[in-house]
Amino acid sequence: MFTIDAHLDLSMNALEWNRDLRLPVSAINQRETGLTDKPDRAKAVVSLPELRKGQVGLVVATQIARYVAPGNNLPGWHSPEQAWAQTQGQVAWYKAMEEAGEMVQIHDLESLNSHILLWESHIPDEVKPVGYILSLEGADSIVTVEHLERAHAYGLRAVGPAHYGPGRYAQGTDATGLMGPKGHALLKEMERLNIILDATHLCDDSFWEALDHFNGHIWASHNNCRALVNHNRQYSDAQIKELVNRGAVIGLALDAWMMVPNWVRGTSTPRGMHCNLEVMVDHLDHICQIAGNTLHIGVGSDLDGAFGKEQCPYDIETIADLQKIPALLEKRGYQKQDIQNMMHGNWMRFLRNAWGG
Ligand SMILES: [Zn+2]
């Protein structure tokens, strides 16, 4: 079934992990054997051929670069200008993949509709380009609010104002506090440019403030439920309810620590913690119960978000295994239409609405 994944960090993997994503996952992992500089070395599950194999023909793909002030121990750049430059390198990689015929940027209704037609055609999936919608995870690299218009011009269509920790425009996961005037100015400019607000990673204070001040389209690209795993990175039932009221779609993430409680990074194993795709269905089921329908869920796997096989459901060997989800949903009693909603329909409806369809 045609599948949309609303959160992958493809360019980060290409440039910071030095992965040539045109290769099969097995070749990427083989070349990383023995490397210890990242926890997920030789454990990659995402590459472009695997996306095609799994009929994941459209993804939301990020630019990501954090700014860190003195005293902030998170990894990041020491000036917004350096962070901006990093994101421009990431854009250059996406453009290079377009030139190689591997990817194609989806940035408006016309490009979306023609891409869907291509994936519905009888052309073999192996030769179809993977569509990507450009998104920014954490807005620190937007040097000034005026930079947003430049970013929109090269295709940026969604922004999550914060990532982990304190941000220049909003506070993120594990942080607290409001967005402040700069954050409000960013939201206003996003609204003017019709850039989607990605509510993922906003801390509770900034989340409610952002929703109060933003009148454009809102989604949550990769988020799970606090009721099932109690952490500030996850959404409370009240937040889910508000997102549903605002017409949002929430992408379910496949990062093990967000799926099962009490995960200990570097120690727990997916099998030991019984973390499989059924657990994802528990989270999406929780959202559907709150919503009273299946119109607000999708996939936002994050399967290349600085983790791999060691920290994702054990029934995923590569991202192509997202194709196991429809059968699991069917087993839980979901109807064909619900399953199509989850795998692609909700993101497509959201995008067509946001882009004027
Ligand atoms: Zn994230």
pLDDT digits (tens, 9 = 90+) for 180-222: 999 999 999 999 999 999 999 999 999 999 999 999 999 999 9
pLDDT in tens, 109-153: 999 999 999 999 999 999 999 999 999 999 999 999 999 999 999
How far, CA to CA in Å, does 217 sit from each of 44, 135, 250?
32, 14, 13
Q: For residue 268, count other CB atoms closer than 10 A to its CB.
A: 17
Q: Which two structure tokens, joined as six digits, stand for 35?
A: 């490397």
What is the arithmetic mean of pLDDT over 256-285?
98
Q: What is the DSSP letter of 345?
A: I
How far, CA to CA in Å, does 314 sit from each of 272, 280, 330?
10, 12, 20
Distance (angstroms) between ligand 1 centre and the Cα of 7 equals 8
Distance (angstroms) between ligand 1 centre and the Cα of 307 equals 11
How far, CA to CA in Å, does 86 sit from each of 15, 38, 222, 272?
9, 19, 23, 38
For the cut 90, the answer to whether the pLDDT of residue 19 exceeds it is yes
Cα(314)–Cα(321) distance, integer angstroms: 11
Q: For residue 356, count other CB atoms closer than 10 A to its CB.
A: 8
Distance (angstroms) between ligand 1 centre and the Cα of 296 equals 19
Distance (angstroms) between ligand 1 centre and the Cα of 221 equals 8
Cα(154)–Cα(149) distance, integer angstroms: 9
Distance (angstroms) between ligand 1 centre and the Cα of 331 equals 29
Q: 140, 76 in Cβ contact below 8 A?
A: yes
pLDDT (0 to 100) of residue 357? 66
Let me know if 122 is exposed, middle or buried by CB neighbors in 10 A (0-12, 13-18, 19+).
Answer: exposed
Distance (angstroms) between ligand 1 centre and the Cα of 62 equals 10
Distance (angstroms) between ligand 1 centre and the Cα of 117 equals 30
pTM passes above 0.85:
yes
Average pLDDT, the chain: 98
Share of the chain above pLDDT 70, in %: 100
Neighbouring residues of 78: CB distance < 8 A, sequence distance ≥ 6:
67, 68
pLDDT in tens, 50-108: 999 999 999 999 999 999 999 999 999 999 999 999 999 999 999 999 999 999 999 99
**Identity of the residue numbered 141:** S
Distance (angstroms) between ligand 1 centre and the Cα of 241 equals 21
Distance (angstroms) between ligand 1 centre and the Cα of 222 equals 7
Topology of domain 3-354, per CATH?
TIM Barrel (3.20.20)
Distance (angstroms) between ligand 1 centre and the Cα of 164 equals 8
For the cut 90, the answer to whether the pLDDT of residue 247 exceeds it is yes
Distance (angstroms) between ligand 1 centre and the Cα of 173 equals 9
Domain ranges for the chain: 3-354
First CA to last CA distance, the chain: 23
Q: 23, 32 in Cβ contact below 8 A?
A: no
Distance (angstroms) between ligand 1 centre and the Cα of 33 equals 26
Distance (angstroms) between ligand 1 centre and the Cα of 317 equals 21
For the cut 70, the answer to whether the pLDDT of residue 177 exceeds it is yes
Let me know if 230 is exposed, middle or buried by CB neighbors in 10 A (0-12, 13-18, 19+).
Answer: exposed
Give residue for tokens 């992408």: 251
Distance (angstroms) between ligand 1 centre and the Cα of 240 equals 17
Distance (angstroms) between ligand 1 centre and the Cα of 163 equals 7
Q: 304, 44 in Cβ contact below 8 A?
A: yes
Q: Helix (H, G, I), strand (E, B), or coil: what is residue 39? A: coil
